[in-house]
Amino acid sequence: MKNQFFAIRMCFFCLIVLNIYVGKAIGQECNFKLSGIIYDGTNQQVLSGATVWLMDSDKIAVTNKSGVYRFNKLCSGTYRIKITHVGCVPIEANVVVNSDLQNQNFSLLHSAEQLGEVVVSSRYDRDVNSIKSSLTAEEMQKQRGGTLGEMLKQLAGVSVLQTGSTVFKPVIHGLHSQRVLILNNGVRQEGQQWGAEHAPEIDPLVASRLTVIKGAGALRYGSDAIGGAVLVEPRSLDIDTGLRVEFNSIYSSNNRMGLFNSIVEQGIKSRKSAWAWRSHLTYKRGGNARTPDYWLHNTGVQELNYSFHAGYQREKTKAEVFFSAFNTKIGIFWGAHIGNLTDLENAINSKTPLFNINEFDYQIGRPSQDVSHYLIKAKLTQELSKDRRINFLLSHQENFRKEFDRSLIDNNPELDLNLGTTTADVNFETDRFANTNQQFGFTVQRQANVWSGSRFFLPNYTNILLGLYAIRKWDKKDLQFEAGVRYDYRSLEVFRNQNGQNSQIGREFNNLSSSFAINYVPNNNLSWLNNFSLAWRPPHVNELYVNGLHHGTASFEIGDPNLKSEISLKYTSQFNYQWNKDTKIDLTLYTNYIQNFINLVPVLPATLTLRGAFPTFQFKQADALLSGSDLTFNTALNSSWAYRFKASVLLPRNLESGTWLQQMPAPQIDQEVSWYFSPNKKSSYVSTNALWVAKQRFIPNNFIDYLSPPSDYLLFNLNFGTELRFMKTPVSLGASVFNLFNVRYRDYMNRFRYFSDEVGTNVVLRLKINL
C-alpha cells in the first residue's frame, strides 16, 4: 500500500508542475499558417513525399500528391526549415513568420552530393512510427568525455547499470545487456555484452546523434530488442565539407582525466562522381576516482580509439567502408575483492571500504580488464529505379576481452575471451505505390567465442543466426501505419570440458516476431503513437552454463541449463503535444509482459573460493510485467530562460510470486533551468539541474540481498557553454560541475554499492576548435 501511495504522490507532483506551465502556454495565441509547394529543380515537376521539417520545433509535414506542404498554428518568429527527398540534395533555409504565408515554394536538385545513409523515402528518415527519444547537440555537449551510458541516461526512461565508477551500460525500461541492441553506424554491435560490467565498446565522440528506440522499433535488426535499441549515428559524409579539422580537449578533476580527440574530414566532387572521407582519434587517461571522503584504489581508465570512414558515389551507385577500433584498460576497485567470509560481511556493513589504499594514482593494477573491439563494414547501395533500391552490407567484428584477478599467479589473464562475428545483410526497399514504403530483407550471422585462461567461466560456442523480415508503412489521412514481421532461427553449439570429458551440446531456437504501430497526427501540434510488439530472446550461453567467479563484478554467478526463451508482448503509447514553438510535452506509457523473464538475483550464502569470498548471484526465471511511464516537458519562460522537467517510474512485477522484481531502477525526477545569454540559444548558456533518485521501495516481500537498497539522493549540477571566434577560428568552451555539493550517496543499480560510495564533485572543462 505504501508503494502505491508513493507512486500516486509522484504522479500528483508531475501534474502540479505541468499545470503551472500549461496555463502560460495555452494563453499564447499562435494561429499563423505556412504552406507552399516543393518542386523538382531539374524538371520543375512537383515532388510528393518530400519531408519539410521545422528544426527548432520538431514539427514535420510531408508533401501530398500535388507537392504541397502545410503547417498550422505557428507562432510568430524565425524558423529554420529543412527539406529532404530521396535522391535530392537536402536544403535548409530561414523563414520569418509574422503573418500567414501561403506561397513559400522550394526546389530540390538531384545530385550525388550526399554520401550518407540511403533510404527510399525521406518521409521515413525520422522513424515516425517508433517510440523514441534523442539527445540534442546541447545535451551531448554537456556529457562529452563520459561514456555512452553516461550520455544516454539524460533521456527519460533510460538509466544505467554501473560497476564501480568507470563502467556504465544503458538500461531501457528496466532491461539491459542482450535485450538492448546497439547499432554502431548501422551495424549491430556484438561483444561480450552479457556481463554487468561489460560496457558498450563504442566511443561516443564519433556520434553526432544518439537515439533510443523504446520498444521493438528495430525489428529489422533483430528479434531480441525486448528493451529497445540505441542508434549511434555519425554525421553523414558530405563532399561540400572541403578539408575540415576539429580538435576536442576535455579535463575531469575527480579522477584527473585528460582526453584528446581529433576529427579530420574532406569531400571531393567532380562532374560525374563524388567521394569523401573522415578519420577520428581519441585518447584518454584517468586515475583513481574519489568519493566525498576517500579515493577508490585501482579505478583508473585508459583508452585509445580510432576510426576511418570513406564513401564514393557515381550515378545510381553508392559505396562506403568503415573501420573502427576501441581499446580500453579498466581498473576494478581493489576493495571489492575480499579474502574470507567474515571480512566480506564486515566490508559490506562498513560505511567506508575496509580494504582500500586512500591515495591518488594513475597506475592500473590487478584486478583489471583489457578490452579491444574492432569493426569493419562495407556497404553498397544500388538504385534499381527512381523508387526502388537494394542495399548490401557486410561486416566483421572481433572482440578481445582479458580479465585479471587480484591474486597474481602469473602474468597471463585468468579469463581470455575472443568473440568473432560476421554478418551479411541484404535489404530491398521500394515506395513504388503512393503513400507506402516496403522493406524486405534477410540477415545471416555467424559467431564463434573462444575461451582460454587459467580460470573457466564461459564455454566455447558457435552461434548461427538466420533472420527474414518484411516491413510495410502506409498513410491514410491523419493516420500513419507500420506493420512488420520477422522470423529468426538460431543454432547454438556449446563445447564443454567437465571432469576431463569433452562434450558438445547443440540447441536450436526459432520463433516469429512482429510489430504494429498506429500514429494519429491530426495537426502539426499533436501526435499520438501506439505500438504493439511481439519479440523473443533465447537464453545466452552465460545464463545457461556459467558457474564460477565473475571477477569484474566481484561476484560468483550460477547459470541454469534448463532456461527457456523469453517472449515479450509489449504495448507502448506516446503522446506528444506542442502548444507553441517553445512548449512541448512528451508522455510515454508502457506495459511489457515477459514470459520466462530471466533475472540475475542475489542468493545466500556468499561463496568462498580459493581467490576469496564473493556475493553469489543466480539466474532465475519467472513471468514478469514491467509497466511504467516517462514524462518530458520543455518550455521557454521568456526569450532568455527555459525550463525542462523529466520523470520516470517503473513498476516491475514478478507475476509468479506476486511481488516485485529485484535489480530494477528506482523512480527519478530531473529538473533543469537554463539561461541563454546569446541570441544563438544553442551555443551560449548557463544551466543548473537537480536530479532526485528515490530509494528503491519496489522490492520483493521476502527480500534477499547482501545490503538493503540505499536511501534516496538529490544531486545538483551546473553547466556552462559558449561559442566565440579567436582570430577567425570558431572555438567552443564548456564547463560542468557534477555533484556540486559533494553529496555522499550510493545507487541501487551499482553492483559495487556493497563496498563504496559514488564519486564526489567532478569539474569538467571542455575546449573545441574547428579549423
- Tell me the pLDDT tens digit for each residue of 12-50: 444 344 444 333 333 445 678 888 888 876 556 778 778
- At residue 89, the pLDDT reads 67
In whole angstroms, what is the distance from residue 206 CA to residue 202 CA? 8
| One-letter identity of residue 505 | I
Q: What is the distance between the alpha carbons of residues 667 and 686, in angstroms, rounded to a whole number?
A: 27
Q: Kindly state the cell numbers that stand for 617.
A: 548471484
The cell for 637 is: 519562460
Q: What percent of the chain has pLDDT over 90?
A: 43
Least confident of 1-10, 72-81, 394-403, 561-570: 1-10
Question: What predicted TM-score, i.e. pTM, was given to this entire model?
Answer: 0.82
Amino acid at 190: E
Strand pairing report for 612-636 and 555-558: parallel
| Cβ(203)–Cβ(195) below 8 Å | no
Q: Are 232 and 588 in contact (CB under 8 A)?
A: no
Neighbour-count burial of 748, counting CB atoms closer than 10 A to its CB (0-12 exposed, 13-18 middle, 19+ buried): buried
d(C-alpha 423, C-alpha 394), whole Å: 6
Q: How confident is the model at residue 682 (pLDDT cuts 50, 70, 90)?
A: low
pLDDT of res. 15: 39
List, in sequence order, every residue forming a beta bridge with 249; answer none if it has no partner.
260, 767
Cβ atoms < 10 Å from Cβ of 711? 11
Rounded distance between C-alpha atoms, residue 428 and residue 483, angstroms: 16
- Omega into 602 within 30° of 0, i.e. cis? no
Phi, psi of 757 (to 5 degrees): -80, 170
Task: Look up residue 101 and give its DSSP letter.
Answer: B
For the chain, give the mean pLDDT: 84
Q: Please state whether 105 falls in left (phi above 0), alpha (psi between -120 and 50) or beta.
A: beta
pLDDT value of residue 56: 60
Range 566-576 average pLDDT: 92
Dist. CA 289–CA 254, nearest whole Å: 6
Q: Which of 146-155, 441-450, 479-488, 616-625 has the lowest mean pLDDT?
A: 146-155
Per residue in 357-387, pLDDT tens? 999 999 999 889 999 999 999 999 998 887 8
- C-alpha 693/C-alpha 652 separation (Å) is 17
In this structure, what DSSP letter does residue 122 have?
G
pLDDT tens digits, 722-736 = 988 888 888 999 999
CA distance 30 to 422: 53
How big is the chain by its Cα radius of gyration, in Å? 26
**Alpha-carbon torsion angle 55, 58, 64, 66, nearest 10:** -30
Q: Residue 397: its pLDDT value, please?
A: 97
pLDDT at residue 661 is higher than 60: yes
* pLDDT on residue 42: 58
User: What's the confidence (pLDDT) of residue 112?
Assistant: 38
Per-residue pLDDT, 19: 42
Q: What is the DSSP letter of 615?
A: E
**pLDDT: which is higher, 300 or 164:** 300
Cβ atoms of 167 and 513 closer than 8 Å? no
> Is the predicted pLDDT of residue 504 greater than 90, yes or no?
no
- How confident is the model at residue 44, as a pLDDT? 65
Residue 6 has pLDDT above 60, yes or no: no
- Alpha-carbon torsion angle 619, 334, 197, 600, nearest 10: 10
What average pLDDT does range 191-206 have in this prediction? Answer: 84
Residue 288 gets which letter from DSSP? -
The pLDDT value recorded for residue 20 is: 40
Rounded to whole angstroms, how far apart are CA atoms 737 and 208? 23
- Between CA 576 and CA 588 the distance in angstroms is 9
Q: Tell me, what's the pLDDT at 129?
A: 60
Q: Of residues 429 and 374, which shows the higher confidence score?
A: 374
Residue 502 belongs to what H/E stretch?
A: strand 501-520
Which element (helix H / strand E) includes 403? strand 388-404
Contact call for residues 519 and 532 (beta carbons, < 8 A)? no
pLDDT at 563: 94
**pLDDT at position 121:** 27
pLDDT per residue over 265-303, tens digit each? 998 887 778 889 999 999 999 999 999 999 999 999 999
Query: Would you say 572 and 227 are in contact if contact means Cβ atoms under 8 Å apart?
Result: no
Q: How many CA atoms lie within 13 A of 430 on its CB side?
A: 9
CB proximity list for 528: less than 8 A, separation 6 or greater: 519, 520, 573, 574, 575, 576
- When pLDDT is averaged across residues 61-70 and rounded to a whole number, the result is 83
Exposed e or buried b per residue across 592-627, where buried means at least 16 C-beta atoms within 10 angstroms of its C-beta: bbbbbbbbbebeeebbeeebbbbbbbbbbbbebebb
Pair 58, 585: CB distance under 8 Å: no
Q: Comparing C-alpha atoms, which of 524, 670, 770 is closest to residue 139?
A: 670
Phi, psi of 28 (to 5 degrees): -85, 140
- Show the DSSP H helices in 399-459 as ranges: none
Q: What is residue 229's predicted lDDT score, i.e. its pLDDT?
A: 87
Where residue 500 falls among pLDDT bands split at 50, 70, 90?
A: low
pLDDT tens digits for 305-346? 999 999 998 888 899 999 999 999 999 998 888 888 888 888
Give strand pairing partners of 625: 593, 653
Please tell me the distance from the alpha carbon of residue 282 to that of residue 304, in angstroms, as a whole number.
6
Count the neighbouring beta carbons within 10 Å of the beta carbon of residue 305. Answer: 21
Q: What are the Cα distances from residue 436, in Å, to 49, 83, 124, 470, 628?
A: 10, 19, 10, 13, 33
Share of residues in the chain with pLDDT > 70 (%):
89
| 500 Ramachandran zone, left/alpha/beta (phi>0; psi -120 to 50) | left
Contacts of 520 (CB under 8 A, 6+ apart): 478, 479, 527, 528, 529
User: Is pLDDT at 350 greater than 50 in this prediction?
Assistant: yes
Please tell me the predicted confidence (pLDDT) of residue 113. 39
Question: Taking 90 as the threshold, does the pLDDT of residue 744 lie above it?
Answer: yes
Residue 633 pLDDT level (bands cut at 50, 70, 90): very high
What is the model's pLDDT at position 374? 97
- Is residue 75 scored above 60 in pLDDT? yes
**What span, in angstroms and rounded, lies between the C-alpha atoms of 584 and 632?**
8
Average pLDDT (393-409) is: 89
Name residue 692's beta-bridge partners.
Answer: 669, 714
State the SS3 of 180-247. Answer: EEEEECCEECCCCCCCCCCCCCCCHHHCCEEEEECCCCCHHHCCCCCCEEEEEECCCCEHHHCCEEEE
Across residues 169-179, what is the average pLDDT?
A: 88
The answer to whether 33 and 54 have CB atoms below 8 angstroms apart is no
Look at 252 and 55; give whichever has higher pLDDT.
252
Q: How far is CA 260 from CA 216, 277, 283, 323, in A?
A: 36, 21, 5, 20
Residues 407-445 as b or e (16 or more Cβ within 10 Å = b): eeeeeebbbbbbbbbebebebbbbbeeebebbbebebeb
| β-bridge partners, 557 | 548, 617
Average pLDDT over residues 582-607: 92
Could you tell me which residue, 355 or 759, shows the higher pLDDT?
759
What local confidence, expressed as pLDDT, does residue 116 receive?
Answer: 40
The secondary structure of 141-175 as a DSSP string is HHTTTS-HHHHHTTSTTEEEEEETTTEEEEEETTB
| CA atoms of 23 and 692, how far apart (whole Å) | 26
Burial 222-251 (b: 16+ CB within 10 A, else e): bbbbbbbbbbbbbebbbbeeeeeebebebb
Q: What is the pLDDT of residue 591?
A: 95
- Cell numbers 566480506 label which residue? 344
